[in-house]
Structure 1
Amino acid sequence: MSLCRRFFPCHIKLPYSSHSFSAGNNYYLRKRRKWPLSPYKAKWQQTFTHQLAMQKLIESVNKYPKTHLLSILIDSFSAYQSNPTPNAYYFILKILTQNPSTWDQIPQVLDHIRKVENFETPEYIFTYLIKFYGVSKMNYLAVEMFFTMPAFRCNPSVKSLNALIWVLCNNNCDLRIVLQVLVKSQFMNIWVEESTLMILIRALCTLGKANNAVDLLHLMVDSGFNLDGNICSLILSTMAEVKECQGVDIWGVLEEMRKLGYSPKRVDLCNVMRFCVINGKGMDALEVLNKMKMSRMVPDIVCYNLALNGLILEGEYSKADELFDELLVLGLVPVVVTYNVYISGLCKQDKVHEALRMLRCMEDLGCKPEMNTYNTILEALCRSRTMLSTAKEVFGQMKLKGLQLSSHTYELVVNCMIRNGEVGEAYNLLHEMVGMGFVPRSITFDGLIHLLCQRGWCSEAMELLSVMVTMNVVPGVRSREALVEALSDSSKMRNKEMHK
């Protein structure tokens, strides 16, 4: 029995005759185009074909890495009767940018996309190339890539503009070029967003142009953008790090930010204090600390360390003592940096015994001294001719505690011994220093050779001279004159003995 008779009994009349199913007589099929799609034209089939072509492309690239990649791309997709996709071109461009020897193929691939393909090239391809040219220090190619995007049927947006601005600013490009790019981008219907202004502000801060960054911040607020607290903090932190900001009025910058509605945090005021310390304005740093307390901010030990360092650098030792007592009264626990700063102040006042007492207090309170702590005290001891024995004792403690001694530490003690005329100990310690792999400076060698020649130790002086030659240290005038004089004296003595 036929399929129709099984489902349609004989007494039921079918609405259409058998020949009415043809496409020419069926009004519904003819007018509504309800033909089933061919499986070879379905979207899933195209996706599957592209995946197969992409897999073949990856295998061919791995197998023949030094071949012309554009031809591999075309052959891989032609094998499946398909056109290359933007992702395939993106893959090829990423492979080409990884090896400098294949950079010359990039223009050929781009030219093929522009002239042969007709798809709308995704913007992420150009964003990647702009960043690549920027990292490779080829700013002119990055700019050219941005402005030729419309030729590739791609409308640039603020994403690619931000990538170009970021590249130019990171490469310390002339700001006039950046300004030209921004002006020309307006004719391409690209308008800057908050992210663009943030990139520019960061660049200005890095270049030390904090005042210009604040002007741009004004423009940002006037244009209707929200005030970003991170940008304000960035401006203050950059001013505290960049040396070119020494002539900037940081108080004026902070006041301008407050007018815009920004309320500085403790970390921001710490950056203001750091700026004051760098520029030798310790009293200003103390003033910032007092304003923090007046505004009911609780300063931490970092704030006190900055103010303490600023006062000591400016020579305000009495105020530094008061500040150190204050932080102890408030219950703040001094850290190594605190002790190092305070001990350096004591050593600058030649209060070495108090510095040694503070060193012992550190150890009693469980704060382990570091190399900077010992070197500061050692320098103060070596400056005084009467405290060489104490310097030797501190140097011995450093050895016993297993501290990683530096060349500077050795030279401090050796030069102190030379000044005090202890030629034997200085000679032995210099050999120990050389044995540790350190290279003494020429002035240290010269001082010891001169002293050895004065004491008549010419053989030891000649030995040190050979050590200098071995270590590529050029002898100074002092050591050469001392050796010449010592050798001439010894020759005169030999002549006198021969005449006798």
Structure 2
Amino acid sequence: MKDFVVILGSSSVPNSPTPPNLRHRHSHRSSPNKTNSSFHKLSPSEKQRQPISSSIPTVHSHQHPYPPLSSTVRWNPTSRRDSPLKYYADLASKLAEDGRLEDFAMTVEMVVASGVDASRFASMLSVELVSKGVALSVREGKAKSVVQVFKKVEKLGVASLKLVNGVGLDSLKKEFQRILGSGEVEEAVDLLESLIGFQFTVKELVNPSHIVKICVDKRNPILAIRYACLLPHAQIMFCSIICEFGKNRDLASALTAYEESKKNLSGPNMFLYRAIIDTCGLCGDYMKSREIYKEDLVNRRVTPNIYVFNSLMNVNAHDLGYTLDVYKDMQNLGITADMASYNILLKACCLAHRVDLAQDIYNEVKHIESTGALKLDVFTYCTIIKVFADARLWQMALKIKEDMISAGVTPNTVTWSSLINACANAGLVVQAFQLFEEMILSGCEPNSQCCNILLHACVEASQYDRAFRLFRSWMGGQEGNIDNMLSTKQINNATSVSTALDHITNSHHPSFLKKFSFKPTTATYNILMKACCTDYYRAKVLMDEMKSLGLSPNHVSWTTLIDICGGSGNVEGAVQILKTMHVTGIKPDVVAYTTAIKVCVGRKKLKLAFSLFDEMKRYRVQPNLVTYNTLLRARSKYGSLHEVQQCLAVYQEMRKAGYKSNDFYLKELIEEWCEGVIKENYQKQEGLSSCERTDLERPHSLLLEKIAVHLQMSTAETPAIDLRGLTKVEARIVVLAVLRMIKENYVQGHSVKDDMLIILGVSERHEEAADVISGVKRAIMKLLQDELGLEVLLVEPQVKKDGWVDLQAPIDANTTLLEMVEKNSLSSEPLSSTRRPVILQRLKVTRKSLHRWLRRRADVIRR
């Protein structure tokens, strides 16, 4: 009997003498460095045909220079038939256990190449030993080598999944955790793609949602979709990825994920459409949702289901017209609206304050409910109640509550809050508190929002003491009947209880004597601070108490404190609170700045008010309409050119920001300031009444724009006044404004260096336009010559024989228009219509007369 020994070693390691007990027993003995087997003498094709029982080759590893194994497996050819195969299976398992996975793969390849069935040989391998080898290699950072070995044995017909048990899977899980922990999510997806090709499942290796979260955090939608394609429920995962990007307000990545998802779908997917539309709404881009609906659904003739339509209507609920159009599209396609559809329509009516349409929809839904097709839910009732509450129709809101109870729908906290708010908005404090009592008697637990509504109702009704008593009783958890606490003696408002509330009992009820949890919010303390009126120290104590409860004061808290401090007369303290906001890390918003500016204006600290206005713009806080109006109404009279320029600059900025202002108040002040050129003690003249009527009829004030432009001229510039487009009264004010500016500059040492030109307008052929220009000219001539005593010349361009126009030729002011026309008609050849230039009618006030007038005004001012 012969013993066969298989020796594994490396060509790079010197062969050592074979131990005596492991030497082959042959009739012909050979040296230890040579192989006696005839297997190596065969050709490659003969090697494959040679049965494994006839010759045992020596397996060499040329890639891993490991020393020979310390033990060998003996094989007796006369034993059972599977002994040689079992020998190689044990050998391969031992190689894998030692981490020599490539030698393991070579052994498997040799055995399968000899004609042995791969599945039969795989069943003889030790899964435990192979898993240990896989775990060892993975721990050593050779995960990619493990994948290469898996690829080799898979090609040979050996399933890699059957070679790995719990130990190997645990090592792979830890490797994925390490890779993901280091942020190499792409490497993890690459490895995962390879292992899934070997029939591994994602759940066995990694938490499926963990990779999605990392991809979302890294804003990598393409990699997220690539990973989702590895999952069996890829279509659902596509929607989850889009929604996750939406939660992060990353619409761009969500849209990229949406486009990548469509490439991996064979047809329309309603879940995907709904996910991206909802994400558009979450990110505030409702126009993109409309674009998706039109391009991906309407234009491609894809019929959405009811859920897609509901999402589209909900995202665009702020636009009632578009929402109704989508609802009509749904009806035209034959899709029946569900309860959610009607709730969204009611929501759109609520946002648009369309009470009439909301009533029609509610009646329609009630009719459908009577047929049994739908059942109204609590959300429907809450929405229609809110519609009436916002419109202060508290009686109709209570009627809806009765419908709700009769339909068997129990009002929830939101329902009661809306009902209480309906009465509070109407100023009915008594009814609001009785509804609160009824809510508690019904067993519904009030929340902080409901309590805040009651406190706000007290503050709005100027019942400040009651607001504080309620708050302290809730905070202290006192037991008692609210009716006793809110008796009619304590109610300042004597409004009687409506007959609609007669069913509510006023007697003591044992079940009402109980505590309810009340956790104040920042809004609660903000309401109480408003109840402090001008008591700054009490409001400050409330803010400190808020902080002690772990609540952070918000912009409303600080703004209220500024208003209270300013109301007590402490302007400097109010401004200091504004600075404290910066120190605490809260950037003051436009409301905070506007409140501080109002405080300054109210105490006539106009310089401080305008400095705050400049400060808010430095911090890039955009003023609103209230800010602008507060500054424009800060003065009751203008005393200097700087003040006028300051307010006109605010006015121009306001117009550029897109706000429309009531110019009447500002015009009156400027008219008064302008008329000071003629008389220091202004007395309103009868002729100015037409200015009010004319200006109010104009779509926007060209007058103020003209004045603003002219008053911004440098003192070194030649005075020039453009009166085109103005009425004669407006033209008078503009001329007076410029003269007032010239006068104040002259007092400061800036003299007039040139004549003052006044542009009246273009010579018109239309009789009506010519009359307007003529009227403006007469009014200005009267003002300058008769009232101010200035020298005025009429400047008309003269047409020369060569066709050129002399724009500098003056004409005596006494020359009539008829005389000028007759003079021009004597020219040899009139200009052709194609060469006729634009002719401006202008007046010129001489510099000499301006100096005389200014000296007279200066003497009056000095006296």
Range class of TM-score, shorter chain: 0.5 to 0.7
* Structure 2 match to 1:71: 145
Shift of 1:352: 1.4
Aligned counterpart for 1:442 among listed residues 558, 565, 576 = 558
Distance in 1 (alpha carbons) for counterparts of 2:226 and 2:155 = 34
Change (3 A) 1:214 1:142: same
2:540–2:561 CA contact under 8 A, matched in 1: no
For the residue of structure 1 that corresponds to 2:439, the secondary structure is helix
SS at match of 2:358: helix
The code of the aligned residue for 1:443 comes to T
Cα deviation for residue 353 of structure 1 reads 1.9
Residue pair 1:53, 1:79 contacting (<8 A) in 2 also: no
- Which residue in the other structure is 1:203 paired with? 276
- Look up the match of 1:327: 404
Alignment correspondent of 2:812: none
2:532 counterpart of 1:417:
yes
Establish whether residue 268 from structure 1 lines up as the match of residue 341 from structure 2: yes
* Distance in 1 (alpha carbons) for counterparts of 2:266 and 2:178: 31
Give CA-to-partner distance per residue, 1:162-184, whole Å, 9 cap, x none.
Answer: 8779757865458996897689x
SS at match of 1:417: coil
Corresponding letter in the other structure for 1:239: M
Give the match's secondary structure for 1:333. Answer: coil
Paired-residue identity, %: 13
Q: Report the Cα offset of residue 361 of structure 1.
A: 2.2
Amino acid at match of 1:360: E
**Structure 1 pair 256–473 and aligned structure 2 pair: CA distance change class (3 A):** closer
1:375 to 449, 452, 458: 452
TM-fit CA distance, 1:192: 1.9
Question: Deviation per CA, 1:74-113, whole angstroms, max 9, x where unpaired?
Answer: 46898999799676899689567633454575698699x7
**Is the 8 Å Cα contact of residues 308 and 342 (structure 1) preserved in structure 2?**
yes
**CA distance in structure 2 between the aligned counterparts of 1:176 and 1:437, rounded to whole angstroms:** 40
Q: Indicate conservation of the 8 Å contact 1:273/1:285, yes or no.
A: yes
Contact 1:158 1:192 (8 Å CA) reproduced: no
Structure-2 change in CA distance of 1:57 and 1:268 (3 Å): farther
CA separation of 1:48/1:73 partners in 2, compared to 1, >3 Å: closer, same or farther? farther
Counterpart of 2:523?
408
For 1:364 and 1:74, locate their aligned partners in 2 and report how far apart those are by CA, in whole Å: 73
In 2, distance between residues paired with 1:182 and 1:426?
55
Among candidates 219, 224, 240, match of residue 137 of structure 1: 219
**Partner residue of 1:283 out of 348, 352, 356:** 356
Deviation, 1:349, is 1.3
> How many residues get paired?
411
What are structure 1's unaligned runs of at least 5 residues?
1-35, 150-155, 486-500
Cα 1:53–1:292 shift into 2, 3 Å: farther
* Structure 2 spans left out of the alignment, 5+ residues: 1-80, 87-115, 203-207, 246-250, 281-285, 478-516, 606-863
Q: Which stretch of the first structure deviates more once superposed, 317-326 or 376-385?
A: 317-326
Given that 2:392 and 2:426 are in contact with CA atoms closer than 8 Å, whether structure 1 keeps it comes out as: no
Q: Deviations over 1:272-316 (max 9, x none)?
A: 323433444343333222111222234233211111112322454
Give me the whole-angstrom Cα distance separating, in 1, the residues matched to 2:465 and 2:309.
Answer: 50
Report the residue type matching 2:365 in the other structure.
M
SS in 1 for 2:523: helix
In the alignment, residue 360 of structure 2 is paired with which amino acid? E
SS at match of 2:533: helix
State the TM-score, normalizing by the size of structure 1: 0.61
Match of 1:43 among 115, 119, 138: 119
Kept in 2: contact 1:197–1:216 (CA 8 A): no
CA contact (8 A) 2:355 2:391 kept: yes
2:381 is the counterpart of 1:308: no
Is residue 358 of structure 2 the alignment partner of residue 254 of structure 1? no
1:413 is displaced (CA, Å) by 2.0
Please, which moves more after superposition, 440-449 or 75-84? 75-84
Give the match's secondary structure for 1:98.
Answer: helix
1:432: how far off?
3.5
1:389 CA displacement: 2.1
Q: Which deviations, in whole Å up to 9, do the C-alpha atoms of 1:202-224 show, x marking residues without a partner?
A: 3234324257448756689x67x
Which of 310, 317, 322 is matched with 1:236 structurally?
310
Q: CA deviation at 1:375?
A: 0.8
Q: Please give the alpha-carbon distance, in whole angstroms, between the structure 2 residues aligned to 1:361 and 1:284.
A: 30
Deviation at 1:46, TM superposition (A): 2.1
TM-score between the two structures when normalised by the length of structure 2: 0.38
User: In structure 2, how many angstroms separate the alpha carbons of the residues matched to 1:176 and 1:360?
Assistant: 50
Q: Report the counterpart of residue 32 of structure 1 in structure 2.
A: none
Say whether residues 1:393 and 2:509 are aligned partners.
Answer: no
For 1:342-491, list aligned pairs within 5 A. 342-385=419-462, 387-401=463-477, 402-419=517-534, 421=535, 425-426=538-539, 428-440=541-553, 441-446=557-562
State whether residues 318 and 351 of structure 2, in contact with CA within 8 Å, keep that contact through their aligned partners in structure 1: no
Alpha-carbon distance in structure 2 between the residues aligned to 1:169 and 1:367: 34
Taking the aligned partners of 1:471 and 1:174, their CA distance within structure 2 comes to: 35
Task: Give, as a single letter, the amino acid of the residue that structure 2 aligns with 1:365.
Answer: S
Whole-angstrom CA distance in 2 between matches of 1:202 and 1:370? 32
Aligned amino acid, residue 383 of structure 2: L
> Is contact 2:417–2:450 with CA below 8 Å preserved after alignment?
yes
Partner secondary structure for residue 193 of structure 1 = coil
Deviations 1:186-242 (A, max 9, x none): xxxx87235x3542343234324257448756689x67xxx88xx4124314532x3
2:474 partner amino acid = M
Higher percent of residues as helix: 1
Mapping 1:169-208, distance limit 5 Å = 171=245, 172-173=251-252, 192-194=266-268, 196-207=269-280, 208=286
Tell me, in whole angstroms, the C-alpha distance in 1 between the residues paired with 2:397 and 2:153.
Answer: 80
Q: CA RMSD in A?
A: 5.5
Query: How far did 1:343 drift?
Result: 1.3
User: For 1:304, what is the secondary structure of its paired residue?
Assistant: helix
Alpha-carbon distance in 1 for matches of 2:448, 2:324: 36
